[in-house]
Structure 1
């Protein structure tokens, strides 16, 4: 699947997430459950405007990032502003007038609009948080001006050919000694073709997951200190993404069954037959769900420039 197709699919789906940010108590409860399972405190989640937490996290990159009031931070793929607004509150706890700044970068216009709305509702000091619409492969900020770069379940959505560029951009932005705290899904094993090229699984943060060795190589090639790069498998249960009734993953959507679907598939909903790739909902009807834990794991990734 080429990069343009991937980015169009991701933009369409995540714009849809943004448009439904404030709908449904059951959905809000599920989003809270997902965020809590990845380490967000009830207090932090309750303090955020409705629609900030979209249930799309795979970790909590701020948990050990030790953000200081005088530091500048960038969040790659900032979505509805979850990590940016929590970071702002952390800075304000450290100082009533923090001198640092937080930048949220997102490709989706709808997400940036939502994040700006949420920031306004949070009544933050003017200029503390800024949301910018841009791809994370080409960030419109100056070199060596950032102390901390975070990202939460976003880099796996970037086409493999562009992932090295993401890490080069991160390295470019960071000051010497600047640090990285990334939460992302990484592949446990090489994925078969029918999984790797399934659009629904890609938008669902599974098919685009890279191997640890690939991630490490890209970070080293970007210039990060080899001895500083660390990967921690959090061993979280990723099947938390399935809806409470067990019928569909949160990052995917049920679609009509295709005649090409192979109902015998036990390990994945996606099959390839007669040259056609599809994500089959027949597996849902039969009580079979994609086991996210089979393919990917949630990692915390750290590095220093």
Structure 2
């Protein structure tokens, strides 16, 4: 068994090899890359991405990234393609074929059928002298000097380079399409990521009660209102105008400051100029405002009209945090 020090050295060497492999892609980009991006943007069909073995797995990840960033894509396994799945490819589709060697038997069988159908073929390949590179209309050069595998056999650096090139394509495409965070939210409605992009304050505060007292309300009424609504705060409102807020912390500080509370009213202990947020704001913005001001509640108000309170727990419950 190797020592911890030896294991760490292997890990660092592996990462360094893969870093160098990715860095080596930069000078391999040429003017054809921009042409490829324009072809993908201009196509009326989808981007069909294919490969064999580990390259097929990389192709599936690139398809997922493309679809989530506004480029309609579909995966086609090269081996299945030559056994009936060629029907996946439609008239206006273009194909990206991923292969390290560019000489696998499946690729050599598949490519002629693509050429015969007049399908635009982009080869993502690690050997510019290979069959795929010679037959493709355009080439994405993902050549690497060596694999991270000590025997230079297991696909490691080469698949990392393919994955990185897929990300390069996706990022260029989304920026060229001016793909916004709102667009991204439409493709990610589920999970915490989606919620961070589309969930709004109005979706949360309506589930809470609307704690409210007036400036002359006695302290007992204030405490009852805070306790009853379980939001840790109550808004002080006078003639539909927000005057202030009273939190659990204000109650504790009052008890430390005063010996008797019988004559105190809401206006004596409320905090003035409380932080507010519009109901149409993203819940994520509410979180940032809470964090920036070290508070756990925000008053929700639209054009000065009190709507309710949003609590940090609302954001926790929805997975925003």
Both structures adopt the same fold (TM-score exceeding 0.5)? no
Higher helix fraction: Structure 1 or Structure 2? Answer: 2
Based on CA coordinates, which of the two structures has the bigger radius of gyration?
2
TM-score by length of 2: 0.31
Higher RCO, 1 or 2 (CA under 8 Å, sep at least 6)?
1
